[in-house]
Amino acid sequence: MEQWNPHGYFISNGPGDPSVMEYAITTVKKILAADKPLFGICLGHQLLALACGLSTYKMHHGHRGLNHPVKNLVTGLGEITSQNHGFAVSEKDIEKNKEVEVTHLHLNDNTIMGIRLKNKQAFSVQYHPEASPGPHDSRYLFEEFVSMIRKNEMKVAI
């Protein structure tokens, strides 16, 4: 995994039940141990949560399509998002890891839409900030990830 000496890791979306993807959860744990920037979306968000000891569950209907309202708890701003998932991170488990902070909530059902780790360079969102055509409210997340990589590279250079 580190043989390519990546500047950061992007864990992308994909189908399926994340809780049965032991190989992927193990890989995310190894990435966290390497302490390089990590950005997860959708399935990547769920895998990051599982790697941190949180559980996921199958949603009754899931979130599909455009125009899902999400609140950024860090900025207080609302975002209109594109979503396509049938699993979510357990709200009940969030207290299991004091190093995990909820950053985004779905305004229709209060499901967890984003987390970040307080002790690592890692964050994730449940929705699709890369979706196009569609809303662009969440493009700042990519800038945040690139900024993390640049800061990390500056630390390595010193």
H-helix or E-strand containing 109?
A: none
* Helix, strand or coil, per DSSP, at residue 85: strand
DSSP 98: T
* Helix, strand or coil, per DSSP, at residue 117: strand
Rg (Cα) of the chain, in Å, rounded? 15
Tell me the C-alpha distance between 44 and 130, whole Å: 13
First vs last C-alpha separation in the chain: 24
DSSP 97: -
The amino acid that residue 8 corresponds to is G
Q: Which residues are catalytic?
A: 42, 128, 130
Tell me the C-alpha distance between 87 and 156, whole Å: 37
